[in-house]
Every structure is written in structure tokens, then in C-alpha cells.
């Protein structure tokens, strides 16, 4: 996905002289190397100084450039948060910040490298647009839409080599949700790579006689509340699935929409499937952390079944829910 994203930046730069690429200290390969050799005047590798780079990107954008800045998601979102808020969001500048290793991609490297609350941080910022595509194909559809989108954008990258699961979708509209599978009994709502697990879980549930739809929300902000509520009406249970802590991300956005959007009517039963609200101490792999957090297909299937059969208590403790369900 990172490869697809940076290849897109290269393509955008080839056809639009406003496009600038900035990295902190990232690997010289693929599109990064090609950009550096083809357009050295618009290529910047500025060292491990994320705060400065955000400000520098803001200065370039103030003058009409469109800056794409890529580095590791945690350093981008945690280290330079104030610069993102003030320099980019307050000034509504066209800077696209691309976070490598969203979620638990860098599991073996430990919690300093796990971007588990990046979506919440970015979603909280006024004027920020937050995108978390599911696969490289979706990334390719998405990137051209970022060029002239007003204001800053955070793009969360997944591991790379993730299975392509969005073949059925044509085009990409920022702010739009995509129904990949309709369902009568339940609904999975996903962002980023949890779409893969949800589609698989939906297929498994179908074999059990349960019709569970899948709504993919690659844009977390602005949030397609209308799209969600349309699909939520009539189903008995909704499980949101995100590679993220329980607070502030997709699950929160869905909960807010359900709480405010049902106009006093009883909303469907709802559960946030997420990473636990703690830093991880398992260093094996993304797949391992996803499975132990209940975010693999089996985990989502389990949680949807439990919710549909009303086995889950009303208030879910996200530190223990994985063990209980």
C-alpha cells in the first residue's frame, strides 16, 4: 500500500508542478528514489525533525504548493501534533501527511512504533480529513482525489502486500462510505484493513445462516453519517472494527452517529471491536496482535454472533472483552 501511495505521489508530481514530496529519513527505494532523481528540486529529505518539517510544509503550502509528507505514523502524529493542529489545520493548508505503519504493522518493533491512536488524534483536529484505505487498489483510486482537496489530509498506510478486497468499488469519493455486502441481520463497519477480516467473517456467518453486511468507511472524517444510518436501519446488531484503541476512532464515530442519529428510536445493538486500551507487550506480528485483539475474521465472527444473541453485556470493558467473547 505504501508503494502504491508513493507511486501515486510521483505520478501526481509528474503532471502537476505544485506537488512537493518531503520525507524525514525514509528508505531510498521505488517511487522515493525515482522522485529524487526525476524532480530533485521538488524532493526534500529533511532528517528526523518532524515538527520542523510540518512547519516547512506549511510554508510551502502557504505559497501554493501541495506538499506530501511521509514518515512513520507515530512520529508524525504524536511528535508533531501541535504543528499539525496550528500550522496545517488552523491555516487550512494543502499538506498531505502520510503515516507509514498505521495500527500494529510494526508489531515486532514495540509500542513506540505502533500507531494505535493516530485516527483519534487526527479526527479530533478541526479541519482535518482522515483517510484509511483498505488496500493498494483503493489507495490508487484515492490519491488523485487528494490533489485539490481543500485543507490538510492524514492518510494512514497499512503494511503492504495486503490482499486486494475492494475490487467491486469504482472510483473514490472522499467522505463516502462503501457497502461491499448488504445484510439483513447485522452490519460490520470497517476502516482500513479490517475490511478484509469483516468480509471473511461475513462469509462465515452466512454459512451459519446469518446475513451480515459490510460497510467500509475509508474516510473517517468527514464521516458519512447518512450512509451509515441508512445501512444501520433495520439490522439488529452493528460491530465496528478498527485497528485502533477503542476511543476516538471509527467505533466512536459510529457510536456518536447512532446515539444522535436515531432520533429517540431504539438503535441497533452495538459493539466496538478494537485493539485494547493499552500499549502492547507482544512482539510477534500484526496478525498475532489482530487475532489476540479479536480483529481477525474469527474474532469478528465471534463478536457479531455474541451481539446478535445478546450475550454481550451492555457496557463493554475493552480491556477484557476479548477474553470474554
Partner 1 sequence: MLKSTAKLDDRSISLRQDLVRLLASCRRGHVGSAASVMEILRVLYDEKLRYDSSNPAWPQRDRFLLSKGHGCYALYLFLAEKGFIPQDELLRVCTAEGILAGHPEHHIPGVEFSTGSLGHGLPVAVGLALSACLRQQSHHVYVLVGDGECNEGTVWEAALCANKHGLSNLTVLIDYNKMQCFSTTTEVLDLEPLTDKWRAFGFAVREVDGHDAGALSRVLAEVPFGVNQPSALICHTVKGRGFRSMENNPMWHHKNGLADADIEMLYKELETEA
State which of residues 54, 97, 245, 271 lies at the interface with partner 1 (CB under 8 A).
Answer: 54
Nearer to partner 1, 87 or 135 (CB): 87
The rounded distance, in Å, linking the Cα atoms of 99 and 300 is 26
Binding status of residue 65 toward partner 1 by CB under 8 A? yes
| Distance between CA atoms of residues 47 and 60, nearest Å | 17
Q: Which residues face 212 on adjacent strands? A: 186
d(CA 301, CA 291): 12
Identify which of residues 10 and 60 has a Cβ nearer to partner 1 in the complex: 60
Rounded to whole angstroms, the Cα distance separating 98 from 68 reads 7
Q: Pick the piece of the chain touching partner 1 (CB under 8 A) from 82-90, 124-132, 144-152, 173-181.
A: 82-90
Shortest Å distance, C-beta 75 to partner 1 = 13
Q: How many residues bind partner 1 (CB under 8 A)?
A: 27
Is 91 one of the binding residues for partner 1 (CB under 8 A)?
yes
Shortest Å, Cβ 63 to partner 1: 4
Residue 221's nearest CA partner among 129, 305, 155 is 129
Q: Which of 8, 71, 83, 166 binds partner 1 (CB under 8 A)?
A: 83
Q: In terms of Cα–Cα distance, which of 268, 256, 322 is closest to 294?
A: 322
Separation of alpha carbons 94 and 116, rounded Å: 25
Least gap, CB of 45 to partner 1 (angstroms):
10
Rule CB under 8 A: is residue 220 a binding residue for partner 1?
A: no
Contacts of 308 (CB under 8 A, 6+ apart): 185, 186, 210, 236, 237, 269
From 40-48, 168-176, 187-195, 289-297, span contacting partner 1 (CB under 8 A): 40-48
Least Å distance, CB 72 to partner 1, is: 17
83 or 104: whose CB is closer to partner 1? 83
Q: Which of 11, 26, 36, 52 binds partner 1 (CB under 8 A)?
A: 52
Does 55 help bind partner 1 (rule: CB under 8 A)? yes
Q: Where are the beta strands (DSSP E) in the chain?
A: 19-23, 43-45, 66-72, 95-100, 129-131, 153-156, 178-181, 186-190, 212-216, 219-221, 237-241, 269-273
Tell me how long the chain is: 325
Residues that bind partner 1 (CB under 8 A): 41-42, 44, 46-47, 49, 51-65, 82-83, 86-87, 90-91
Amino acid at each position: 500500500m505504501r508503494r502504491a501511495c508513493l507511486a501515486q505521489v510521483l505520478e501526481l508530481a509528474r503532471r502537476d508542478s505544485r506537488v512537493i514530496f518531503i520525507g524525514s529519513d525514509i528508505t531510498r527505494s521505488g517511487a522515493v528514489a525515482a522522485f529524487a532523481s526525476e524532480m530533485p528540486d521538488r524532493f526534500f529529505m529533511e532528517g528526523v525533525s518532524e515538527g520542523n518539517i510540518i512547519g516547512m510544509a506549511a510554508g510551502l503550502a502557504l505559497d501554493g504548493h501541495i506538499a506530501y509528507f511521509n514518515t512513520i505514523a507515530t512520529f508524525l502524529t504524536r511528535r508533531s501534533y501541535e504543528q499539525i493542529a496550528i500550522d496545517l489545520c488552523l491555516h487550512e493548508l494543502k499538506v498531505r501527511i502520510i503515516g507509514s505503519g498505521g495500527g500494529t504493522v510494526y508489531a515486532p518493533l514495540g509500542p513506540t512504533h505502533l500507531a494505535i491512536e493516530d485516527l483519534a488524534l487526527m479526527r479530533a483536529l478541526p479541519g482535518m480529513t482522515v483517510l484509511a484505505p483498505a488496500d493498494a487498489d483503493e489507495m490508487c483510486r484515492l490519491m488523485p482525489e487528494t490533489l485539490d482537496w481543500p485543507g490538510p489530509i492524514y492518510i494512514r498506510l497499512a503494511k503492504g502486500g495486503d490482499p486486494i478486497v475492494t475490487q467491486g468499488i469504482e472510483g473514490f469519493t472522499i467522505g463516502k462510505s462503501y457497502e461491499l455486502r448488504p445484510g439483513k441481520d447485522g452490519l460490520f463497519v470497517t476502516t482500513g484493513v479490517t475490511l478484509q477480516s469483516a468480509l471473511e467473517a461475513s462469509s462465515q456467518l452466512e454459512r451459519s445462516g446469518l446475513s451480515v453486511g459490510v460497510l467500509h468507511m475509508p474516510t473517517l472524517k468527514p464521516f458519512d453519517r447518512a450512509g451509515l444510518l441508512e445501512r444501520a436501519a433495520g439490522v439488529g446488531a452493528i460491530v465496528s472494527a478498527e485497528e485502533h484503541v477503542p476511543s476516538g476512532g471509527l467505533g466512536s464515530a459510529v457510536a456518536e452517529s447512532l446515539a444522535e442519529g436515531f432520533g429517540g428510536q431504539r438503535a441497533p445493538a452495538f459493539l466496538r471491536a478494537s485493539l485494547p486500551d493499552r500499549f502492547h507487550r507482544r512482539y510477534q506480528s500484526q496478525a498475532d496482535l489482530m487475532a489476540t485483539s479479536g480483529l481477525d475474521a474469527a474474532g469478528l465472527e465471534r463478536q457479531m454472533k455474541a451481539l446478535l444473541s445478546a450475550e454481550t453485556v451492555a457496557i463493554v470493558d475493552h480491556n477484557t472483552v476479548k477474553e470474554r467473547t
